[in-house]
Amino acid sequence: MELSVLNINGEDTGRKVELNDSIFGIEPNDHAIYLSVKQYMAAQRQGTAKSKERSEISGSTRKLGRQKGGGGARRGDINSPLLVGGARVFGPKPRDYSFKLNKKVSELARKSALSYKVRENALLVIEDFTFDAPKTKQIVSLVNNLKLSEKKVLFVLPKADKNVFLSARNLERTNVAIASDLNTYKVLDAGILVVLESSLSAIDAVLNK
């Protein structure tokens, strides 16, 4: 599939690029996407929830009442989970929610997400650019030139560019990612994917090893 290359003014340069069908033209696999997004969201969880168990509560260990004959449930000391202010039974403990996902499944998920963007006409290719200094108004001007001011935009760069990153940092609907760090969640979360021309070869190198 071919896409026109735009310049930073939003104008057609007259050039076209050929998208790799093995990345941007596959039949999307929804289950692979689900697993990849689930893995990403799980890795974001802090996992520090903690409640005190019986042995961790500060209080007397004296048995409060008789074992039988009281008419109620058996209970021991004041730290009992049956009492107000007592411990919690099987409460949460600090844990790591992340899990492993096979490389091939992860790659299939990213390819599927990119293929969905192409199907939805939500992928633009623009000429490579850089900024001399971090200026938010420059990235705002670029987004306006591309007529994407109402969309959630993700710029895909071939390599880290501090000036571009800092320029987009204050904008709520504009994000920047490096081609090698692109993941399924970021692709799907964006309304429009704006890929720099040289980022296409970087994506090919990552997903077609």
Q: What is the pLDDT of residue 24?
A: 94
DSSP category for residue 158: S
Cβ–Cβ < 8 Å for 99, 39: yes
Give the helix/strand (H/E) hosting 37: helix 30-44
Q: What is the pLDDT of residue 76?
A: 87
How far apart are alpha carbons 187 and 206 in whole angstroms? 15
Burial of 104 (0-12, 13-18, 19+ CB in 10 A): exposed
Give the helix/strand (H/E) hosting 13: strand 12-18
Give me the architecture of the 2-28+101-207 domain, per CATH: 3-Layer(aba) Sandwich (3.40)
Q: What is the pLDDT of residue 66?
A: 87
Two structure tokens written together for 187: 């692709």
Q: What is the pLDDT of residue 82?
A: 85
Q: Tell me, rounded to whole angstroms, the distance of Cα 131 from its chain centroid.
A: 26
Q: What is the pLDDT of residue 59?
A: 87
What pTM, to 2 d.p., does this model score? 0.83
Cβ–Cβ < 8 Å for 17, 199: no
Q: Which residues of the chain have pLDDT under 70?
A: none
Compute how many other C-beta atoms are within 10 angstroms of the C-beta atom of residue 41: 11
Say what the alpha-carbon torsion angle 36, 39, 45, 46 is, to the nearest 10 degrees.
-130
DSSP 97-116: ------HHHHHHHHHHHHHH
Domain residue ranges of the chain, discontinuous segments joined by +: 2-28+101-207
How far apart are alpha carbons 175 and 140 in whole angstroms? 12
Question: 113: closest CA among 29, 178, 191?
Answer: 29
